[in-house]
Every structure is written in C-alpha cells, then in structure tokens.
Amino acid sequence: MKIAFTGKGGSGKSTMAALFVQYLRTAGHRVLAVDADVNVHLAPLLGVTARAAGALSHPDNVRDVRTHLLGGNTRIAGVEHFVATTPPGPGSRLVGLDARDPLVARHATALDERTHVMHVGTYEAKDIGSGCYHGHLAILENLLSHLDPADDGWVVCDMVAGTDAFANTLHAQFDVIVVVAEPTPESVSVARRYRELAGAAGVADAVVIVGNKVADQMDLDYLRSALGVPPMAFLGLQAGLRRARQAGAPPRPEDLDDASALARIAEHAAGRSPSAGHREELLRTLHLRMAGKGWVRAAHGDVTAQLGPVPAGAAPGH
C-alpha cells in the first residue's frame, strides 16, 4: 500500500505523516517512510538525521539505485537512459520494503527491523540559481514505479507541498493521497485545487481530505462547506502533541487526544482496491508525454521503446 501526505505548507502534513508511520509501526506493519519534501521534515520527525550524502538524489545514490533497478532489462539502453517515467520491464529488479532488499539496506535508516526511512534530499549550495527540485524527485519516481506489487508492506511518503505532484508522475504513483487541510481559506483553496487536478489527471478516487487543527464545530462546518465534501477524518488542536514537539520529542499517536483519525486513514487505505491496469495506463501515458519532450530526445534518444506492448483493452495511442 502506497500512501502520500500533502497539502498547503504549514498545514501539518509532515507531522500527520510521521504520526501515521508511528501508528503503522505500533500496529506491527512493515513500513518504508520516504521524506520527499524539499524542506526535509519527515525524517527528523522520525528521529533520523538527513545527511546530504545519504539523500536518494545524491548523484552517487541515483546511479546506484538505477543500476540496481535496471538489472537485465534490455528495453533500456543503459543506466544513463533512465528518465523519471522509465517503467520496469523484463529483467528489472523490483524493490521490497525491508532490509532484505539491497536498496533499502543501502539507502534507508532503520528505526527497527520493520520500519525504515529514506529521504530524497534538498537544495545544496551548489544548486543555487541552477537547481530544480523536480529533478531531485525523478529518482523517487523510479523507486515507486519499481516497487514489488506483491509486497504487503506500506510506503508512507511526505510529499512536496501544494500541487507540485502534478508536475511529474507522483500523483499517479499512490493508492491513497491524503490532502491535509486547515480551516483557513488558503489551506482549503489548495485542497480544492488538488481535487480538481486529480480529477483531470484521472486519480480523483485516490484523494481524501483530512482536517487538521480543527478547534471546534464551527471549524469543522467551515471545512465541510468550503471543501464541498466532509473531511474523511480530522484532528483537533492537540495541545499534548504541541507540548511534546516543544520538548523536542518525535510526534507519537499517544500524544494525541484522539488517534481515531489515524485509524480511519489506515482503514480507508486498507479497504481500497486500486486498478493496477488503470495505474499502468496512466504511467504509460505520462511516459509517452515525457518521451516527446525535446530535451529528453536530445539527452536520451527515443525512450518509447522502454514501454512494453500495449495492455489489452487500453485506448489507442496508449
């Protein structure tokens, strides 16, 4: 199960993601937590120091991850021809969600034997004036698209804030996308826009809204009215959580007055049965769109050959 947390910056999405990781961890699930926010908040919230050399987007790590994923896939001319949308093919190596997998062993920090944390990285001084965080996220796209579908663990990703996920394939990579919304016009506008773009992108059914910092019934009514749909779950102001954070302690479900929102998210995700065929069609369409870009053709040649045969029942041109 792959679940992402996003929302307006400051909405509490990173804290919500950290709480959810700890909730799953306490319940005994295997969890791979991925910090994919440029601000790198999830890893520290889980007690992990996010060093630049350990970031997935570090050039040495990018090459290591792609070399491993490539395996014996002859549809890809070489590791240098990986693009963000490159799909797995015959001979590719798929990724598991614990330290038995070489990539997890090499690039994740273990909280315990069943819970591991990766981080994509952030801007470094050398990137000033010339870097783009979307480029950093390409290696995460590769990793997500090569996850073993038979693995029964959880991937929990703290995504970039706002609607940036629609600039790449991340919106199509997750089974559930939790948009965290505060009862403010700015936060609600991001959540509404996310739902609109999700509808246009064909992933509307993956998106749920979770309210945060809800002080009273008026806040909850405001969210329902302004969003046009009721939040699937919500958290209150959570003074106990704030005190724990002020003391420097990682957020934990036991800091909450009521952890039922975390249980509701888990139940919703576990009850979903996303269509693998629909996701494959979406990712295939996005790869063809990427393949048509001039800079991709100049740098990598024709990458359409990285796709396999058109799946039965797919629309023409997909």
Q: Check pLDDT > 50 for residue 318.
A: no
Q: What is the pLDDT of residues 204-224, one digit of tens each?
A: 999 999 999 999 999 999 999
Is the pLDDT at 162 greater than 90? The verdict is no
**Cα gap 103→3, rounded to integer Å:** 20
pLDDT higher than 60, residue 175: yes
**Domain boundaries 2-306, corresponding CATH code:** 3.40.50.300
At 190-207, the pLDDT tens digits run 999 999 999 999 999 999
The answer to whether the CB of 282 falls within 8 A of the CB of 251 is no
pLDDT at 228 over 80: yes
Distance, CA of 149 to CA of 318 (rounded, Å): 22
Structural tokens at position 45? 């919230």
> How far is residue 232's CA from residue 222's CA, in Å, rounded to a whole number?
14
Percent of the chain with pLDDT over 90: 85
Cα 270 to its chain centre, rounded Å, is 17
d(CA 177, CA 165): 11
Mean pLDDT of 279-307: 94
Strand partners, 155: 2, 32
Q: What is the mean pLDDT of the chain?
A: 92
The residue with greater pLDDT, 244 or 131, is: 244
Structure-model confidence comparison of residues 274 and 63, the more confident one: 63
Number of neighbours of residue 199 by Cβ within 10 angstroms: 12
Average pLDDT over residues 267-272: 93
| Residue indicated by tokens 């598991």 | 96
Average pLDDT over residues 9-28: 96
